[in-house]
Chain A
Amino acid sequence: MSAMVTVFLKEVRENLRDRKTVFNSLLMGPIMGPLLFVVMMSVILNRELDRAEQPLKLPVIGAEQAPNLVGFLRQQGVQVLPPPADAEAAVKAQEFDVVLRIPAEFPQAWAKGESAPVELVYDASQRDANRPRERAKDLIEAYGRQVSALRLLARGVHPLVTRPVAVVERDQSSAAARAGQIMAFLPYVLMIGAFIGGMYLAIDTTAGERERRSLEPLLATPNSASSIMLGKLSATTSFALASLVLTLIAFALLVPRLPLDKLGFQLDFGLVTALKVLLLCAPVVLFASALQTLVAAYAKSFREAQSYLQLILFVPMIPSIAVMIVPLKTELWMMATPLLAQNLAINKLVRGEAVPTLHFALAIGVMLVLALVITAITAQVYKREQLAAST
């Protein structure tokens, strides 16, 4: 037991002296992840805000052909602009998102009561252009419906005859849930953080120690190999946990700066949520550290260990990406699936939804058991004589 404490204290002391480690696991990881996340989110959100608030700017070619339509658009708050010389080129050059062209045959078709053509010029590969195009299309169609209703009335037909079905959309997502959707990225950042925070130490204390040829003298001291391993593992876990706590603090400080409320979103990232997330992630940190220590024990050099551990980083990515791509309905077995459970539970927590105690306990319990199993396996590996004598 005391050997474990001795090894733990020495590893912590030695690694705190290493600027590279401190920078990577206690500064870069915890700050960069949340910062990148928040910057990305605020870019997306601000854009949404811009789109929603700004009047639609619409250059119209041949406005004189359909003064009533243009008048309607103006009435609806559209800024009708003089047309560019070449509509297609202007759209391609992203000078305008969408241009309305009213062809010369419009008045004729209109007068005859035929379908009068109008053209919307846009570039579908420009994601920004989609929203303005939809708005322009909706407005023109609304104008069309208005006119058609009037024409039917003039002929003594009730306009509703042409609309046998009326679709009414009732969105059930709460504002918080919509924000949560955007926040689906958060568990991903946290899970990756749990794996990255201790990675450097996991390598340094095992493969690194072997590469520096200092493992053999250590294992020749009168201590069990497992107590030495546990000391190293607790140092790795402590660094990873510190990294996670710093990451959560960074999130708690940065998330409120997002303009979520302007979009009617509410995001719960208070102290209680942060603590619950920490509780959910702590066993993941232990699991990640144990797995990394185990894998790094098989590597002969620092570099070899590094390449193995980078592959392990894909492990936490799989459930996170799965949750992002395929919206899952939470079922009990999912909460018993390591990593997937954490993703789902964190998603719920930040949306302000309640996570049942059973689910919470299951998510933590299964992960903890798994972490302990990996730790036990690692302890066995450390007893193998090849470990020290491979040089």
Chain B
Amino acid sequence: MLEVQDLHKAFGKVRAVDGVSFVARDGEITGLLGPNGAGKTTTLRMLYTLMKPDRGQVLVDGQDAQRDPIAARRQLGVLPDSRGLYKRLTCRESIEYFGQLHGYDAATARQRAQALIELLDIGSIADRPTEGFSQGERVKTAIGCALVHDPRNVILDEPTNGLDVMSTRRMRALVKSFREQGRCVLFSSHIMQEVAALCDRIVVIAHGKVVAAGTPDELRASTGESNLEEAFVRIIGTDEGLAA
């Protein structure tokens, strides 16, 4: 479970995150929706302790993430916005590398890499260097690296960015399978259809603030719009930066 309480973060005069609070529960997919530049990535970076909040608190499974960032990161599987691969390592070697960075010995890391290669169905590319991978193959490899330690909490920053239709569909199926496994999934996107189709709960962020939160039905009801897209536009006040 991930809890975010009153997070603030400013870069110079720009208040990137200005009082964000929400809860992402186990066994649910929580969507973080907002236009580009709304503060989603900064919020997530504070969640996985890469940035320190100016104010506010992050709880990972009830533990204060700032007090022990390394312990918090152990509970998190993170697919960041930046997810470059090592082009001279194969997909399998990359996942094994992250396994070892999570403290596994070589043999265990190898087993875990094999398990993830099967889970992600990437056996055919597992032993090729990642240079020359397609977008979909790259994202899958990056997810393999992020989930090598079987984390309870999964943070995905715009995981479908740059993916084609088929890869996006497979990605959605994968995210749903994480929910079925009882994990807590926090998923950021600027694509309304995706969030609407996947998420149990939606947190809408604009200008660094949470402007609405709830299930898709609740959001529709609160705005009086039957169409979710119209509901979002009404909540955010503009359709700028949102993709259908």
Contacts and interface: CB of A to CB of B under 8 A. Distances in A.
A221 B73 contact: yes
Contacts of B71: 222
B142 interface: yes
A13 B73 CA distance: 26
B82 A222 contact: no
Interface in A124-147: none
Contacts of A2: 100, 103
B18 to A, nearest CB: 18
Interface in B72-120: 73-74, 76, 78-89, 97-98, 100-103
Given A6-B97, A219-B50, A213 B102 contact: no
Given A10-B97, A214-B82, A389 B50 contact: yes
A297 B142 CA distance: 23
B172 interface: no
A220 B84 contact: no
A53 interface: no
Contacts of B79: 217
A3 interface: yes
Given A6-B97, A220-B78, A385-B50, A214 B70 contact: no
Nearest to A2: B103
A17 B86 CA distance: 12
A217 B142 contact: yes
Contacts of A389: 45, 50-51
A224 B70 contact: yes
Nearest to B42: A389
B87 to A, nearest CB: 7
Contacts of B83: 213-214, 216-217
Contacts of B202: none
Contacts of A18: 88
Contacts, number: 78
B220 interface: no
B88 A217 contact: no
Contacts of B142: 217
A14 B88 contact: yes
Interface in B35-81: 45, 48, 50-52, 70-71, 73-74, 76, 78-81
Contacts of A68: none
A213 B84 contact: yes
A134 B169 CA distance: 89
A18 B50 CA distance: 30
A212 interface: yes
A281 B234 CA distance: 68
B70 A217 contact: no
A222 B78 contact: no
Contact of A222 (B84, B85, B103, B145): B103
A209 B97 CA distance: 15
A310 interface: no
Contacts of A7: 101
Given A221-B102, A224-B70, A385 B146 contact: no
A223 interface: yes
Contacts of B51: 385, 389
Contacts of B89: 10, 13-14
Interface of B: 45, 48, 50-52, 70-71, 73-74, 76, 78-89, 97-98, 100-103, 142, 145-146
Interface of A: 2-3, 6-7, 10, 13-14, 17-18, 209, 212-224, 385, 388-389, 391
12 contacts: A14-B89, A212-B86, A215-B84, A216-B80, A218-B101, A220-B76, A220-B78, A222-B74, A223-B101, A385-B51, A391-B81, A391-B82
The 6 closest A-B pairs by CB, nearest first: A213-B84, A214-B84, A213-B82, A212-B84, A222-B73, A221-B101
